[in-house]
A and B are shown apart, each in its own frame.
Chain A
Amino acid sequence: MSGIQESVIIRTVVRIIVPFIQLFALYVIMHGASGPGGGFQGGVIFGAAIILYAMIFGIGEGKKKMSDALDKILASTGLTIYAATGLICIVCGGMFLQYGAVPLIPDNPAEVSKYLIDLVEIGIGITVLAVMISLFFNVSPPESEPEEAEE
């Protein structure tokens, strides 16, 4: 394990590649409304980028980029975005998740659906990436601080 972490080649490659993985993740998320892809897949890719970073530079470094508190907040907000989108549709007189009911662009419910589906995908993506990362940190060896510390 330490051998891999000390390799200059791997460290350099990972440092270069991580932003591109994240960019690709954003592409997959935004692509979800009109083609293959979506929030879940994109979130997993985004989470994988940070997990890769943490694997190479150590759990401690990884937690500096993605602290437990931030992780928790992201996991909560992601799904709240999703549910809130559904509830907005109710407030605007439609059914739950009936995007067309939201009068965002007059006379073009299909267009509104597209944007709101993107919003839902983003919400799902955020939750998935946060949960992926917290799963990784939770099963990682105890270089990290113990779980009980929070209370």
Chain B
Amino acid sequence: MTGFELIATHLPILTVVVPLIAGFLTPIVGWIDRRLPWYWVMLAMFVVLLIAGNNLVTVINSGTIQYKLGGWDPPFGIEYVIDLLNGFVCLIIAFIAFMVSIYSKESVKKEVPGKTTPFYSVFLLLITGLMGMTITGDIFNFYVFLEISSLTAYALIAMGDRGDGVVASFNYLIMGTVAASFILLGIGYLYAVTGTLNMADMQNLLPSIYQNKVVLAALAFFMVGFSIKVGLFPLHAWLPDAYTHAPSTASALIAGLMTKVGAYAMIRFMFGVFTPDFVITTTGMTNILAWAAALAIIVGSVLAIAQSDIKRMLAYSSISQIGYILLGVGLANMIGMEGGLLHVLNHALMKCALFLVAGAIFYKTGIRNLYQFKGLGKKMPVTTTVFMIAALSMIGVPGTVGFTSKWYLALGSVDAGQWIFVFVILLSSLLNIVYFWRVFDNIWFGHPHEIEHIKKDEAPLTMLAPMVILALLCVFFGLFAYYPVHYVIEPLSVELLKLGGMP
């Protein structure tokens, strides 16, 4: 027990260090035997999952955890802070990454032959970057991890489709670098006027100089930078190509996590570095965000209808789903915020499941064009059932996770007196039905003479298990949304909006 107690105080740093060390040891593990990295990544991700779970439970039971790196006191040294918000996001990252790591075995072997070891190494470093971004309480440390996660994401995407993957990765690199430059400029401006890099300290110092133009510019830079990172509508150009041409495993990971962490960062900067008062009333930033998000919801859905490549369709759908999260944040009232935060979890589950299904279908048949999916329902019953559950959830059928967050968002819109957003959510759900129905139609209702001689040929178990688990969770959290809402989302929304002071 003493052994655990010794480790327990250091769990925040281990969340980042475990995937980091594991990532750098992967080449050696792969050098010993090239089948080992898969087991190695699963082991590492399982450990990280346990740590992240423990962190969140500790936060729920006994409040915010602070960890001083090197024993230096907060305003001077780097501090890691885990509160409800990032404990929650960390657990999502760890869980999705664990599921994807199980799934990756066959898919990576087929799609990136000869490069499995580097793939897993970069995979773990991506998790390191995302974890670090989420967990740190230091604004410049945040930027360092942002760069780690971006660079590794470029590398993962470039391993995808021959030629297209590299182009997509390059486009993302340009856009990502522009975004990172905006964010770094913002950080530099805030550092220049406050002289501190600690988020909590900055939040205390900033209110006295809110009239300063430099602070306003910093806020604008952050919003633009993070909007590129999450792929908010007018700045989304990199996203569809990157998601489409990345290897299936990487698509699922990046689609499931990258934009969520971007959204987390946006929330953290708005409410944890600046104060709710400032972003809601003084500058009206949340209002702008809500309208941009509403636009993203509609445009993303409409563009998704026009796609025939399933991964590209899911990518456009991601643009619209990110809109839901940011709409919730932009509404800036209790219920809307709850809906937005809940959608971080829900969208990670749904979108990850959908991309895993797309990957499994591609693995078995080599087809990505959804008009050629005829008869797949007979050939791969489990995979297509998972797809159906996740897609129904995206549409927002009651009993699935998609419904709960849309319900909260709609109530939040009513609460804010913005009836137009209710209409937007409804319209988007209808558009979702349109683009997912094309897939259902092809999977289940192909012409009989085309499908009668198709034999059952299901994806391997390592692929099926994580997909089925994610689909079950989609239903579980749809029926029992009480657990995340009661333990995490509700106290979190109160903390974000009313008290404001976060880490």
A80-B25, A83-B17, A96-B17 given; A147·B69 CB < 8 A: no
Contacts of B31 in A (CB 8 A): 69, 72-73
Q: In the complex, which residues of chain B have a beta carbon less than 8 angstroms from the beta carbon of A98?
A: 70-71
Residues of B7-62 at the interface with A, using a CB-CB cut-off of 8 Å, are: 10, 13, 17, 20-21, 24-28, 31, 34
Q: Which residues does chain B contribute within 8 Å of A147, judged by CB atoms? A: 114-115
Assess the A76–B25 pair: CB atoms within 8 A. yes
A17 — which chain B residues lie within 8 A by C-beta? none
Is the CB of B301 closer than 8 A to any CB of chain A? no
Stretch at the interface among A21-29, A41-49, A54-62, A87-95: A87-95
User: Would you call B68 an interface residue if the criterion is a C-beta within 8 Å of the partner chain's C-beta atoms?
Assistant: yes
A72 touches B27 (CB 8 A): yes
Query: Are A148 and B114 in contact (CB-based, < 8 A)?
Result: yes
Q: How far is the CA of A79 from the CA of B114 in the complex (A)?
A: 24
Asked if B429 is an interface residue, CB under 8 A from chain A, the answer is no
Please state if B24 and A90 are interface contacts (CB–CB under 8 Å).
Answer: no
Q: Which residue of chain B is the closest to A101 with respect to CB atoms?
A: B71
Contact between chains at A73 and B69 (CB < 8 Å): no
- Write the chain B residue with the least CB distance to A69: B31
If the complex has contacts A80-B24, A83-B21, are A95 and B34 also in contact, measured as CB distance less than 8 A?
A: no
Q: Is A99 an interface residue (CB 8 A)?
A: yes
**In contact, B69 and A97 (Cβ under 8 angstroms):** yes
Question: Does B70 lie within 8 Å of A97, measured CB to CB?
Answer: yes
A32 proximity list for chain B (CB < 8 A): none
Task: Report the minimal beta-carbon distance from A15 to chain B, rounded to whole angstroms.
Answer: 31
Interface size class on chain B is: 20 to 34
Contacts of A69 in B (CB 8 A): 31
Closest CB in chain A relative to B295 CB, distance in Å: 41
User: How many Å lie between the Cα of A61 and that of B20 in the bound state?
Assistant: 33
Q: Is the interface of A mostly helix, strand, loop or mixed?
A: helix
Taking the closest CB of chain B, its distance from the CB of A99, in whole angstroms, is: 7
Check A95 against B20 for contact (C-beta < 8 Å): no
Contact with A along B210-229 (1 / 0, CB 8 A): 00000000000000000000
Contacts of A143 in B (CB 8 A): none
How many pairs of A and B residues are in contact by the CB < 8 Å rule? 64
Verify if A151 is at the interface (C-beta below 8 Å from B): yes
Contacts of B13 in A (CB 8 A): 86, 90, 95-96
Q: Which residues of A contact B69 (CB under 8 A)?
A: 95-97
Contact of A96 among B10, B25, B28 (CB under 8 A): B10
* Binary B-proximity of A26-44 (CB < 8 A = 1, otherwise 0): 0000000000000000000
**C-alpha spacing A83/B70, complex, angstroms:** 13
Residue B145 at the chain A interface, CB threshold 8 Å: no
Q: Which residue of A lies closest to B16 (CB)?
A: A96
CB nearest to B67 among chain A residues:
A95
B116 within 8 A of A: yes
Q: Is the CB of A76 within 8 A of B24?
A: yes
B70: contacting residue among A73, A99, A151, CB under 8 A: A99
What 0/1 readout, one digit per residue, does chain B (115-135) give for beta carbons within 8 Å of chain A? 111000000000000000000
Closest Cβ of chain B to A58, distance in Å, is 25
State how many angstroms separate the Cβ of B22 from the closest Cβ of chain A.
10
Contact A151 B17 (CB under 8 A): no
| Closest CB in chain B relative to A18 CB, distance in Å | 26
Q: Please report the C-alpha to C-alpha distance between residue A14 and residue B351 in the assembled complex, in whole angstroms.
A: 55
For B25, the closest partner residue in chain A by CB is: A76
For residue B177, give the distance in angstroms from its CB to the closest CB of chain A: 18
A125 at the interface (CB under 8 A from B): no
Instruction: Assess A100 versus B17: contact at CB under 8 Å? Given A73-B28, A151-B34.
Output: no
B27 near A94 (CB under 8 angstroms)?
Answer: no
A107 within 8 A of B: no
On chain B, the residues within 8 Å of A86 by CB distance are: 13, 17
B255 CB to nearest chain A CB (Å): 27
CB<8 Å pairs between A and B, sample of 30: A72-B27, A72-B31, A73-B27, A73-B31, A76-B25, A79-B21, A79-B24, A80-B25, A83-B17, A83-B20, A86-B13, A87-B17, A90-B6, A90-B10, A90-B13, A91-B6, A95-B10, A95-B13, A95-B68, A95-B69, A95-B70, A95-B71, A96-B67, A96-B69, A98-B71, A101-B71, A147-B115, A148-B114, A151-B113, A151-B116
Give chain B's interface residues, CB within 8 Å of chain A: 6, 10, 13, 17, 20-21, 24-28, 31, 34, 67-71, 113-117
Q: Which 5 A-B pairs have the closest CB atoms?
A: A98-B71, A148-B114, A97-B70, A96-B13, A79-B24
